[in-house]
Each structure stands twice: as structure tokens, then as C-alpha cells.
């Protein structure tokens, strides 16, 4: 693990990604301090371009864009992180059980996973939010529901190959129980792949969240990047910055998470791409 | 004759390793010559640089960080290290060809054998299709492949390991090269197949007067084929000379140690267990594997891995199960340790039949039957410390952690490792040390029966002899009953009291080692014993003897 960390910090793009990601997190944490009050509040004249009265300008109702983006970082990161966490837990549990026990259980769980994968994930997410009502909670659940199948398949594969490794057979012949073998012996060895996939999943979750709020399927009381883009799209030709600024925020965040994920992959699984 | 320059002359060859490697040079200041019509064996243990050296002749380096920094490889007036890439391509496969260890990976799985052999011809010569085809057929005949017409159309996965290696040899010989480089060509093969391939290489070499550079780790193979031998250690040649001289009168201490580690084929003195209690008795053990089948795939195929296997081991006795790959010997081990469930038959441990036990009923039995695995790298969890690995078994069975830990430290000493190894991780140890750790883990539960599945097959011969000595000492000290699975008849002769020879899931011969080796009854046992490489050389020499 120590070696992994030093490998990570020698990887320049990954470090850059980490710095950007930390900045986004700082924005989310400091939003309340820098811009106390409601980001939906109308503070000035509408359609002010960037670098005038407000650093990033205002939208068509005169709301401060920078305040919106900083507060939006909260929603975005919260949704991305929580949805990924839930999806990872569900995916690891289902994939782990299927891969470890195999047989009928595996068959059942994998058919279930495939069932989820047959539905286009974005449409499925829209449907779920539409049914559950637009709130931060339902967006998180919707994203988690559409994101766990790839994780389950990955973990199943890892567990299946570990199951037949000699060190796991040695555990069985020592008389260990399933719980101990799964949690102490197999899981730690699959952790690096789970972390890598999970980190990339955060990026996808953020994109889905932005897409949903662009379509207006998000919590009406929570500012988010997708919402700003959605509301600014009608004035794209006259006030480009309303869409461009939150768009840049999404681009930077998703890119930084991908860079960090790739960096983690190189650092934790060095054998996969040792040249 | 003496006026003619040697076929291949390597002078002062030095190959650098990348800066982070454990030594600076893979091969250092190495010189050797290969004459026409001669087989030169390069022997050495893993990491000695023997493979790298042989590949350097064809300019095959594993990465751009591993490159020659000094020396010459002279072939037919040209320095192979300095020829242009075009010229090198011209020579490769044409004047010098190579065969590899693993015939499955060295052949392209999506091309038919015929197409692959023809390719060598098509690259180097302009011959029309029909003539090419005839040449290929001749070649397949020359390497004694049955039904060449059919082999021509086959794909690599449809052939057996031996057939694939024959096809590789046919491909290598297609252009009638002056030099054949063989890098462990028989290591992945069963012993009877190995004997055939060695004979084939010898015959073809003599018929064509080729020079053969034969890389191997096995002194038995050396005794079988070599005219000359060069022994390598840490990138140097420590000794070279005529095969008979080196094998019978080794001069260098390293060669002597290596030769002394080769187990003798003559079994040790007989131990008598006539009246002792039977610790493990297996009767009518059956196990089949079903492959294929399912919704759309039609009928399934059933393979009988074990077909009514019977044997018994008395307290303190060691039974060896010998056989070739696919004979079912590992399946026996896995059924006895209940990693696999047998289809039928009984497995009696100290009089109790455990074949039908549930996992829960098995738990108290588990500590009495322990297993040592083959792969020293795969059998230890890389994320646990050595101490945790050894102490874990007793802890699972209810021993207090402190006591289990103390016992783990004692066991480390017993298997010849230091106590402070307990806090380190498996990757910090060599293959032989890992096998010791695996043994300590198995012994931690104080078992009565030890099942060892090819415990030394992955080890170099000198390390193998140390582990075998340790196993033999511990067996005596603790009075262990051992089931020892191996494909190596030399190892079996030194470790086992009795042997069961397996062929396609059946025990075809079973008896005391000395009796079976001296007077084999079943034709397959005879064939196996006859195929042991270097058996003639073994007779009357002293090798590793465990008593």
C-alpha cells in the first residue's frame, strides 16, 4: 500500500486530478461561508457577463452564478459519493455471494443483474426519479440502482478466481468458516479493483445527476450544476456563460475523478500494465 | 575439421539488467562455442540467465532495458549483436530457429498447424503452394506425427502437448537451420512424452548434423541428450566440458552441489509398518467431472477423474501417488481433504468415514488432515503476515491468540526460518521459504495426516532437496502419516515408503517403492520408469538420499 501511494504521487496527471478534486471539495465545504444565504436569491441585474459585478456573472433571473456553482458542488459531490457508496455495497454483496457460492445462487443473482442491465441506464434512472418524486434522496437511489450491476459483475469475477486459488483452498482445509474466508482472505485481495472501479463510478454518477437535473428531475430546493445548465439552455446564444460555467465545473470534476481513478489503478494494480 | 571455425561463438557477452534489478548483469562476460553436429546443454537454476543468453543469439530481448552491453555472438562470420534488423529476420527461422517451453502459447491459436508451418517457408523462400504443402507433410512425417494430413488441418488446441511440441519442432526445422535453440522444450510435458521428444531431437540433430543449444534445468535431461554441458550460475558459466566429464566428475563446487541435489532413483532402505494402525484408508473412491451440456449445447461430456481408487496408509508411513498430468492424482488429494466431494466410495480417517460428512461435521476432522500445496506463490494470502497465516488455523479452532502466536514462532523455527519472519509478508520470501511457511501452516494444527500435492515441483533442484530433507525430518520427528502426490519418480523414490501408480483415474500398480521400482508389473509403470530422463546415468551414482 505504501509503495502504491508513492507510485500514485509520481503520476503527474493523477496528482493534478487530485488537486482539482480537492478544490471542488473545498468549494463545496466553503460555499456556506463564502456565499451565505440562498443561492436561488436574485441579487442583481440579469444577464451580466462574467468579470463584471459578479466574478462569473448572473443568470436570466439575476442569480449569482458563482454562488450557484459553489453550492451546486455540494449536491453534486454528495449525490456522486453516496450513490457510488450504495452501488458499491450492493454490487460487492451480490457479486461476492454469486462468485463465492456459485451454483444456483450465482445463476439467480446473475440473471437478476442482467435484468437490470437490459434497461438503458439513463432512461431507467429517469423513470425511477419520476416514480419516486424529485428529491436528493430519490436521485441518489436512482443512480445507485442503475450503477451497481457492473460492480457486481466485476466482484463476481474476482471472487470466482480467488475461490479457486490455493490460498483460499488452504483456508478451507484449515477449517475456516465462509464469513472469515470472505472478509479476511478474499475481500482484501479484491479491494484494489473495487476502489478503482468505485472511483470511476463517482464520475459516471455525477454525469447522471447532471443529466437528471438538466431535465428538471432534481430537488427543486437544491442548487445543482445540471439545473443551472438546464435553465440557461434557452439563452445559450445570448448568454453563453450561464451554461458554460457549470459545464466547465462538470468537465473538470469528472475529468479529475477519472484521472485519480486511473492513477489509483496504476498504483494499486501495477502488474496489469507493467511495461 | 579443426580449421573450420565453430558454428556459433559467443565471446565476452554481457547483458545489462534495469537499474532496479537485484543484480547489474543478467549475463556477464560469458563465452562459449557450439560446434556443428553437437548438442550443447546450458544448465542452471531459475534466474541464472540461461534463457536470456540463448535468446540473445536471435536478438530476442524481453525489454529495451535489458540489452547487451559488451561481447560478440559470431555466427558464420557475422556478429549477431550488430547485424541489421532485416538481416536478423533473414537469419531467424532460416539459419537459426528456436523452440519454446510452452507449445500452447508459442503457437497461434487461430491458425491451423499447416498454415503456421507453411508460413516459415513462405517468409523465406518462393515456392509454389503445392511444393510447400509437400514439404510440410514431409516435415510432419519427420517429427513422427501420426496422420499428417489431418494434423495439417488441426488447430493447436486439438493436439496434445506432445503433438504441439512436435509441430513446433517441425516448424523450426522447416528451413533446415544450422542451429536449433531449444529453451526448456520438454519442461511442460509429461515424462513419457518428454522421453519421446528428447529422442526425436537427438535423431533429427544427428540426421542433419545441426548444432543444438539446449537450455534446461534438469540434469536427467542433460544426461539423456548432451554432448557438452555448460553450467550457469548468476549469469556466469561456472563449468563447461564434455557431458560425461561434468556429470561424473564435476569440478566446481556449485556443479557438485547441484548434482548432489538430484534425487537418486534407487529407493532408500525399507521401513516396516506391517502391524501399525491404518490412519487413512480409501475405498472405491469415484469422482467424475461433467463438462459442456446446458440448454443449447447438446449432450454433456463426462470425464472419470477417479475410477474406484483404493489404498491405505499406516501410521507414520508415506504413500506416494505418482502419475502424469490428468491421471487424477491431484483429485485424490482434493477429495481426501474434502475440497472436492467424491461421488462414491469411503475415506476413512483413523477408522471414521468422512466421505459423507457435512462441512460442519468435518470441522474437527479438518485439523487432523492438513494439506501442503504446489504453488509457493499462490498458496499464501499476499495480504496477511506470515505469523497471521500460521496462527490463524489454531485460532479458528479455538486456541487463544497468544498461545497460537507463540506456537507459530516455534513452528517457524522448526521449518528453518527465523522467528522475526512472522511479521513479514509472503512476497518477501523466496519460493523455497514460502513452501516452508506453507508447511508450518499445515503443521500448526498438529495434524496426523499430511497431504502434500506436488510440494516441490515448482522449486529449483537445490531448494527442492532442502525442502525434501525438511519434510523427511519433520515426518520422522512428529510421526506424520503422509500422502505425497508427485509426477517425479526420483522424488517419490526418496520420499515414499510405498507408491500407487495412477493412469486415467485408476491405480494400476500399488506396492512398496523398492518392489515397484525394481520389478514393475504393469506395462504403464514400466513405461514410466523407462522414461525417467538420465536413468542410465543414475544407476550406480549417489544422488540425494533421504534416510
The β-bridge relationship of strands B211-216 and B179-183 is parallel
Q: CA-CA distances (angstroms) from residue A133 to A59, B501, B513?
A: 27, 71, 78
**Helices B161-173, B129-142: crossing angle, 10 deg rounding:** 130
Residue A6 at interface with chain B, using a CB cutoff of 8 Å = no
pTM of the predicted model, to two decimals? Answer: 0.82
Q: Write out residues 182-201 of A within 8 Å (CB-CB) of B.
A: 184-185, 188-189
| Domains of chain B, CATH where assigned | 304-345+359-534 (3.40.50.300)
Residues contacting residue B367 through CB under 8 Å, at least 6 positions apart: A174, A175, B393, B397, B445, B446, B447
Is residue B438 within 8 angstroms of chain A, CB to CB? Answer: yes
A177/B337 Cβ within 8 A: no
**Which residues of chain A make contact with B438, given a CB cutoff of 8 A?**
170
Mean pLDDT within B434-456 = 92
| Residue of A168, A173, A190 to mutate, testing the B interface (most B Cβ within 10 Å of its Cβ) | A173
Beta bridge partners of B452: B372, B484
Q: Using pLDDT thresholds of 50, 70 and 90, give the confidence band for residue A272.
A: very low
Domains of chain A, each with CATH number or no CATH: 14-42+56-267 (1.10.3720.10)
Closest chain B CA to residue A171? B393
What is the tens place of the pLDDT at every residue in A77-86? 999 999 999 9
The DSSP symbol for A35 reads S
CB atoms within 10 A of CB B338: 19
Mean pLDDT, chain B, rounded, equals 87
> What proportion of chain A, given as a percentage, has pLDDT over 90?
44
Residues forming beta bridges with residue B285, ordered by sequence position: B309
Burial call B345-376: b when 16+ CB within 10 Å, e when fewer: bbbbbbeeebbebeeeebeebbbbbbbbbbbb
- Bridge-partner residues for B42, per DSSP? B215, B230
Whether the CA torsion B81, B82, B86, B90 is positive or negative: it is negative
In the prediction, which pLDDT does A98 show? 95
Task: Show residues of chain A in contact with B378, CB under 8 Å.
Answer: 165-167
Q: Does A10 touch chain B (CB under 8 A)?
A: no
Residue range B350-361: mean pLDDT, rounded: 88
Q: Is the pLDDT of residue B516 over 80?
A: yes
**A167 → closest Cβ in B363, B378, B396:** B378
Helix axes B431-443, B386-396, angle to 10 degrees: 20
Neighbours of B302 (CB within 10 A): 12
Residue B438 has pLDDT above 70, yes or no: yes
**pLDDT level of residue A6 (50, 70, 90 thresholds):** confident
The three-state secondary structure class of B150 is helix
User: If you count them, how many residues does chain B have?
Assistant: 547
Note the pLDDT of residue B370.
Answer: 93
**Integer Cα distance of A200 and A254 in angstroms:** 9
SS3 B40: strand
pLDDT band at A153 (very low <50, low <70, confident <90, very high): very high
> Å from B363 to nearest chain A CA?
5
A-B Cβ pairs (cutoff 8 Å, strict)? 60
Position of cell 434557452?
A234
Give the tens place of pLDDT for each residue, B274-299. Answer: 788 889 999 999 998 887 655 555 56
Question: Across residues B453-475, what is the average pLDDT?
Answer: 89
In this structure, the number of other CB atoms found within 10 A of the CB of residue B1 comes to 5
Q: Tell me the chain A residues in contact with residue B379 when contact means C-beta distances shorter than 8 Å.
A: 166-167, 169-170
Confidence label for A155 from pLDDT (cuts 50, 70 and 90): very high
Looking at residue A275, its pLDDT comes to 33
Grid cell locating B180 = 536449433
H or E stretch at A203: helix A187-214
Q: What is the predicted ipTM? A: 0.79
Residue B370 at interface with chain A, using a CB cutoff of 8 Å: yes
Helix (H) or strand (E) holding B121: helix B113-124
pLDDT above 80 for B346: yes
Q: What is the mean pLDDT of residues A249-271?
A: 84
- β-partners of residue B27 are B15
pLDDT in tens, A84-100: 999 999 999 999 999 99
Q: What is the mean pLDDT of residues A43-67?
A: 81
Kindly provide the residue ranges of all beta strands, DSSP E only, lying in B249-358, ordered along the sequence. 278-292, 300-314, 318-322, 344-349, 352-353
Q: What is the pLDDT of residues A163-200, one digit of tens each?
A: 988 899 999 988 888 999 999 899 988 988 898 899 88
User: Can you spell out the DSSP letters for B81-119?
Assistant: TTS-HHHHHHHBTTTEEEE-S-HHHHS-TTS-HHHHHHH
- pLDDT given for residue A270 in this prediction: 57
- Residue B112 sits at the vertex; the CA angle it makes with B111 and B117, to the nearest 5 degrees, is 95
Tell me which residue has cell 543468453.
Answer: B53
Rounded to a whole number, what is the distance in Å from the CA of B122 to chain A's nearest CA?
Answer: 32
Q: pLDDT category, B212, cuts 50, 70, 90? A: very high
User: A175 and B362 in contact by Cβ < 8 A?
Assistant: yes
Place of cell 483404493: B310
State whether A188 and B441 contact (CB < 8 Å): no
Q: What percent of chain A has pLDDT over 70?
A: 97
Indicate if the pLDDT at residue B64 is higher than 60: yes
d(CA A51, CA A269): 45
pLDDT of residue B350 exceeding 70: yes
Strand B300-314 with B278-292, pairing: antiparallel
Mean pLDDT of B135-140: 86
Residues 6+ apart with CB under 8 A from B412: B386, B387, B390, B418, B419, B421, B422, B437, B440
Please state, in angstroms and as integers, the Cα–Cα distance from residue B406 to each residue in A173, B385, B415, B522, following that order.
22, 15, 15, 50
Question: A158: how many CB neighbours lie within 10 A of its CB?
Answer: 22
Closest partner residue to A173 among B63, B337, B374, by Cβ? B337
DSSP single-letter state for residue A181: I
Give the minimum alpha-carbon distance from A202 to chain B in angstroms, rounded to a whole number. Answer: 27
Distance CA B450, CA B318 (A): 9
A176 part of contact set with chain B, CB < 8 Å: yes
Q: Chain A neighbours among B 372-401 (CB < 8 Å)?
A: 373-375, 378-384, 392-393, 396-397
CB contact under 8 A, B367 and A275: no
Residue of A nearest to B380 (CA): A167
Residues of B in contact with A172 (CB under 8 A): 339
**Residue B36, SS3?**
coil
Phi, psi of A203 (to 5 degrees): -60, -45
**Out of A175, A185, A189, whose CB is closest to B366?**
A175
DSSP-assigned beta bridge partners for residue B280:
B313, B349
User: Mean of the pLDDT values across residues B513-529?
Assistant: 91
Q: Look up cell 533446415; give the residue.
A: B176
**Alpha helices (runs of H) in B209-271, residue ranges in sequence order:** 219-225, 243-248, 253-261
- Confidence (pLDDT) at B501: 94
A44-48, B483-487, B516-520: least confidently modelled range: A44-48
Q: What is the DSSP letter of B529?
A: H
**A139 pLDDT exceeds 90?**
yes
Tell me the chain A residues in contact with residue B380 when contact means C-beta distances shorter than 8 Å. 167, 170
In angstroms, what separates the C-alpha of A188 from chain B's closest C-alpha?
A: 7
Whether the predicted pLDDT of B1 surpasses 50: no
Q: State whether residue B507 is helix, strand or coil.
A: strand
pLDDT for A196? 86
In chain B, % of residues over pLDDT 90: 31
Are A180 and B396 within 8 A, CB to CB?
Answer: yes
Interface test with B, best of A174, A176, A185, A268 (most B CBs within 10 A): A174
The pLDDT tens digits of the residues spanning B373-390 come to 988 888 999 889 999 999
Rounded to an integer, what distance in angstroms lies between the CA atom of residue B248 and that of residue B60?
Answer: 34
pLDDT at B127 over 80: no
Closest partner CB to B396 (pick from A165, A176, A275): A176
**Helix (H) / strand (E) containing B350:** none
Residue B255's region, left for phi above 0, alpha for psi from -120 to 50, else beta, is alpha
Can you tell me the distance from the alpha carbon of B117 to that of B139, in angstroms, rounded to the nearest whole number?
A: 9
Beta bridge partners of B311: B282
Which of B507, B508, B510, B505 has the alpha carbon at shortest distance from B306? Answer: B505
pLDDT above 70: residue B3: no
Amino acid at each position: 500500500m505504501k509503495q502504491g501511494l508513492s507510485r500514485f504521487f509520481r503520476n503527474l496527471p493523477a496528482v493534478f486530478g487530485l488537486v482539482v478534486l480537492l478544490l471542488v471539495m473545498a468549494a463545496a465545504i466553503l460555499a456556506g461561508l463564502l456565499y451565505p444565504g440562498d443561492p436561488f436569491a436574485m441579487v442583481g441585474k440579469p444577464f451580466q457577463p462574467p468579470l463584471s459585478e459578479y466574478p462569473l456573472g448572473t443568470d436570466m433571473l439575476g442569480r449569482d452564478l458563482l454562488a450557484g456553482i459553489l453550492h451546486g458542488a455540494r449536491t453534486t459531490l454528495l449525490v456522486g459519493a453516496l450513490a457510488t457508496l450504495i452501488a458499491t455495497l450492493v454490487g460487492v454483496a451480490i457479486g461476492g455471494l454469486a462468485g463465492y457460492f456459485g451454483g444456483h445462487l450465482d445463476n439467480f443473482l446473475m440473471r437478476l443483474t442482467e435484468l437490470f442491465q437490459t434497461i438503458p441506464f439513463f432512461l431507467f434512472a429517469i423513470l425511477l426519479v419520476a416514480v419516486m418524486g424529485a428529491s436528493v434522496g430519490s436521485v441518489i437511489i436512482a443512480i445507485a440502482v442503475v450503477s451497481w450491476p457492473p460492480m457486481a459483475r466485476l466482484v463476481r469475477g474476482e471472487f470466482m478466481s480467488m475461490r479457486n486459488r490455493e490460498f483460499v483452498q488452504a483456508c478451507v482445509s484449515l477449517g475456516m468458516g465462509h464469513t472469515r474466508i470472505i472478509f479476511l482472505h478474499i475481500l482484501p485481495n479484491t479491494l484494489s479493483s473495487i476502489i478503482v472501479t468505485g472511483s470511476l463510478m463517482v464520475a459516471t454518477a455525477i454525469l447522471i445527476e447532471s443529466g437528471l437535473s438538466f431535465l428538471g428531475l432534481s430537488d427543486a430546493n437544491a442548487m445543482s450544476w445540471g439545473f443551472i445548465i438546464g435553465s440557461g439552455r434557452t439563452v445559450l446564444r445570448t448568454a453563453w456563460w450561464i451554461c458554460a460555467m457549470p459545464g466547465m465545473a462538470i468537465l473538470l470534476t469528472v475529468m479529475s475523478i477519472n484521472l485519480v481513478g486511473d492513477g489509483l489503478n496504476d498504483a494499486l494494480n501495477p502488474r496489469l500494465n507493467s511495461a | 575439421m579443426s580449421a573450420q571455425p565453430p558454428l556459433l561463438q559467443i565471446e565476452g557477452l554481457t547483458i545489462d539488467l534495469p537499474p532496479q534489478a537485484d543484480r547489474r548483469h543478467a549475463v556477464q562476460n560469458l563465452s562459449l562455442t557450439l560446434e556443428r553436429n553437437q548438442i550443447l546443454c546450458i544448465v542452471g537454476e531459475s534466474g541464472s540467465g540461461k534463457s536470456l543468453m540463448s535468446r540473445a543469439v536471435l536478438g530476442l530481448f524481453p525489454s529495451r532495458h535489458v540489452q547487451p552491453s559488451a561481447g560478440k555472438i559470431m555466427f558464420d562470420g557475422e556478429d549477431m549483436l550488430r547485424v541489421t534488423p532485416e538481416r536478423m529476420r533473414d537469419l531467424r527461422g532460416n539459419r537459426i530457429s528456436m523452440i519454446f517451453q510452452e507449445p500452447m502459447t508459442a503457437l497461434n491459436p487461430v491458425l491451423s498447424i499447416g498454415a503456421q508451418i507453411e508460413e516459415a517457408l513462405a517468409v523465406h523462400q518462393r515456392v509454389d503452394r503445392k511444393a510447400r504443402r509437400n514439404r510440410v507433410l514431409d516435415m510432419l512425417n519427420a517429427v513422427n506425427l501420426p496422420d499428417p494430413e489431418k494434423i495439417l488441418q488441426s488447430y493447436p488446441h486439438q493436439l496434445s502437448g506432445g503433438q504441439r511440441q512436435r509441430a513446433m519442432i517441425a516448424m523450426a526445422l522447416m528451413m533446415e537451420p544450422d542451429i536449433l535453440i531449444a529453451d526448456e522444450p520438454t519442461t511442460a510435458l509429461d515424462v513419457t512424452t518428454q522421453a519421446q521428444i528428447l529422442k526425436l531431437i537427438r535423431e533429427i540433430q544427428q540426421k542433419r548434423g545441426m548444432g543444438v543449444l539446449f537450455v534446461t534445468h534438469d540434469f536427467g535431461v542433460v544426461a539423456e541428450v548432451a554432448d557438452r554441458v555448460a553450467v550457469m550460475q548468476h549469469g556466469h558459466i561456472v563449468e563447461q566440458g564434455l557431458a560425461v566429464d561434468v556429470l561424473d566428475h564435476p569440478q566446481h563446487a556449485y556443479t557438485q552441489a547441484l548434482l548432489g541435489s538430484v534425487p537418486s532413483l534407487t529407493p532408500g532402505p525399507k521401513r516396516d509398518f506391517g502391524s501399525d494402525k491404518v490412519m487413512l484408508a480409501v475405498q472405491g473412491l469415484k469422482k467424475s467431472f461433467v463438462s459442456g451440456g446446458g440448454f443449447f449445447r447438446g449432450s454433456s461430456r463426462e470425464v472419470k477423474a477417479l475410477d474406484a481408487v483404493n489404498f491405505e496408509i499406516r501410521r507414520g508411513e508415506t504413500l506416494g501417488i505418482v502419475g502424469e498430468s490428468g491421471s487424477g492424482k491431484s483429485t485424490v488429494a482434493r477429495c481426501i481433504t474434502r475440497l472436492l466431494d467424491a461421488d462414491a466410495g469411503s475415506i476413512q480417517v483413523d477408522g471414521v468415514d468422512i466421505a459423507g460428512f457435512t462441512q460442519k461435521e468435518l470441522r474437527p476432522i479438518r485439523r487432523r488432515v492438513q494439506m501442503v500445496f504446489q504453488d509457493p506463490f499462490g498458496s499464501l494470502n499476499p495480504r496477511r503476515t506470515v505469523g497471521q497465516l500460521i496462527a490463524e488455523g489454531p485460532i479458528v479452532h479455538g486456541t487463544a491468540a497468544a498461545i497460537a502466536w507463540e506456537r507459530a514462532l516455534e513452528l517457524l523455527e522448526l521449518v528453518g526460518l527465523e522467528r522475526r519472519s512472522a511479521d513479514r509478508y509472503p512476497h518477501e520470501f523466496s519460493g523455497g521459504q514460502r513452501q516452508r511457511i506453507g508447511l508450518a501452516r499445515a503443521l500448526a494444527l498438529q495434524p496426523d495426516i499430511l497431504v502434500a500435492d506436488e510440494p516441490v515441483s515448482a522449486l529449483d533442484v537445490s531448494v527442492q532437496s532442502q525442502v525434501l530433507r525438511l519434510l523427511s525430518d519433520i515426518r520422522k520427528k512428529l510421526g506424520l502419516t503422509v500422502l505425497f502426490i508427485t509426477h517425479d519418480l526420483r522424488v517419490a523414490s526418496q520420499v515414499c515408503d510405498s507408491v500407487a501408480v495412477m493412469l486415467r483415474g485408476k491405480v494400476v500398480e500399488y506396492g512398496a517403492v523398492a518392489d515397484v521400482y525394481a520389478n514393475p508389473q504393469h506395462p504403464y509403470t514400466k513405461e514410466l520408469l523407462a522414461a525417467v530422463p538420465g536413468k542410465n546415468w543414475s544407476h550406480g551414482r549417489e544422488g540425494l538420499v533421504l534416510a
